[in-house]
Every structure is written in C-alpha cells, then in structure tokens.
C-alpha cells in the first residue's frame, strides 16, 4: 500500500478489531451524554498527544514543509492528522450538547462566525478522511429479535492501525513536544529571547 512519508510509519502495527457499535448496551466509554468520565475519555484521546518534534532529516522527507523549533537546532514541529481528526470529532460531539459546552451561545457575532467556520472545517475534514480511507469492511445483516426484523449488524470486523501503540510512540520523550511549549518558544524567539 503506498503511503505518504510520515515519521510515524515506523510505529504502525495492525490488529483485527470488532467494532462495538451498540445503541443500548455495551457502549464504549466515549458514548453517551457528556459527564466528567466521557469528557476525560475524549480528552485523553488527543489532547497533549498530537504534536511531535522531528529531526531535520525527517522534516526534509515530509510531503508538506513544516517549521523549525526555535531554540532546538535541527528539530522541526509536526502533528499527525489522526489527532486533529479526533479534535474535530470531539468538537462536533460537544456541539450536540450546548447545555454542557455552550456551543455558540453568548459569543460575539465575530466569534460566532469563527466558531461555525471551525465546525464546518471539522465536518469537512472528517468527510475527506472517511472518503480517503474508504473502509470496505462488510456489514452483515441479521434478524434482530428485539425489533422482529432484519437489520444491519453493526458489530463489524476491521483491520485497524493500533492506536494505542501509535500514541505510545507519540508520547516518547525524544519526540513528544507539547503545543503550548512550541507557542511559548515562538513568542520568546519573536521577542529576541532565543
């Protein structure tokens, strides 16, 4: 399978996974009305994980150029799309629950416009990702006793990249680089402190 270069290719492992696509019982920790546990589960998926520093040799191989890290000679900053996509999905999820997250209530017209542009960006990014990966796993049909009819069985088998292994790779001290630290370094560099 052709892949665009990413330093994370070395971390990829694959495993067979049966999706838990339940509507009622046996739901995942990311499902359901928001509470502190659901929010923590979503937070732990992508916040503080998605940005890494890479050596210039890897930066030179990227299909799109990226920026150097001020004060860290020979290293560049980059992120992985999967964590951006999870951020986007979480933004859409939060929009479903304005009572907990506020959605666009109370925003100035300019802030409201930016919020909606961000939300629309996220929805289209997820559309592009779904179409790009075009999952061809099959969905069998079965008789469901509860509704006395034939319906698709959402418990489908997929071959997946091992997300936990990828996150472990991202968090390795040699490459993990919090986005906030990068922003502080850029500011210090602009002020002549680096």
For every residue of 70-82, which 3-state class applies, written as one string?
A: CCCCCEEEEECHH
Q: Is residue 1 domain-resident?
A: no
Alpha helices in 32-178 (DSSP H): 36-46, 56-61, 81-95, 98-101, 109-133, 163-170
The answer to whether the Cα torsion of 57, 58, 60, 61 is positive or negative is positive
Residue 2 placed within a domain = no
Domain membership of residue 92 as a residue range: 7-190
- Does residue 175 lie in a domain region? yes
Q: From 52, 134, 48, 128, select the one nearest 87 (Cα to Cα).
A: 48
Cα–Cα distance list, 52 to 48, 109, 173 (Å): 10, 35, 10
Strands (E) across 4-72 are located at 14-18, 51-55
- Which pLDDT belongs to residue 24? 76
In the 8-state DSSP scheme, what is residue 45?
A: H
Distance, first Cα to last Cα, the chain: 43
pTM of the model: 0.91
**Using alpha carbons only, how large is the chain's radius of gyration in Å?**
20
DSSP-derived secondary structure letter, 193:
-
What's the structural domain count of the chain?
A: 1
* 76 domain residue, yes or no: yes
Beta bridge partners of 135: none
Residue 16: inside a domain: yes
pLDDT by residue, tens only, the chain of 194 residues: 678 999 999 999 999 999 988 777 788 999 999 999 999 999 999 988 889 999 999 999 999 999 999 999 999 999 999 999 999 999 999 999 999 998 776 789 999 999 999 999 999 999 999 999 999 999 999 998 888 999 998 889 999 999 999 999 999 999 999 989 999 999 999 998 87
């Amino acid at each position: 399978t052709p892949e665009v270069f990413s330093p994370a290719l070395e971390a990829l492992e694959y495993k067979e996974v049966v999706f838990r696509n339940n509507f009622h019982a046996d739901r995942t920790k990311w499902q359901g009305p928001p509470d502190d546990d659901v929010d923590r589960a979503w937070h732990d998926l992508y916040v503080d994980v998605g940005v890494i520093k890479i050596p210039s040799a890897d930066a030179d191989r990227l299909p799109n150029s990226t920026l150097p890290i001020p004060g860290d000679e020979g290293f560049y900053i980059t992120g992985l799309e999967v964590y951006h996509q999870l951020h986007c999905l979480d933004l859409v999820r939060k929009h479903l629950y304005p009572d907990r997250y506020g959605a666009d209530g109370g925003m100035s017209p300019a802030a409201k416009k930016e919020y909606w542009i961000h939300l629309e960006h996220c929805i289209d990014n997820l559309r592009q990702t779904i179409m790009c990966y075009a999952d061809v796993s099959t969905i069998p049909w079965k008789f469901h006793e509860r509704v006395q009819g034939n319906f698709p069985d959402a418990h489908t088998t997929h071959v997946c990249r091992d997300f936990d292994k990828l996150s472990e790779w991202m968090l390795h001290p040699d490459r993990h680089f919090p986005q906030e630290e990068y922003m502080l370094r850029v500011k210090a560099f602009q002020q002549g402190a680096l």
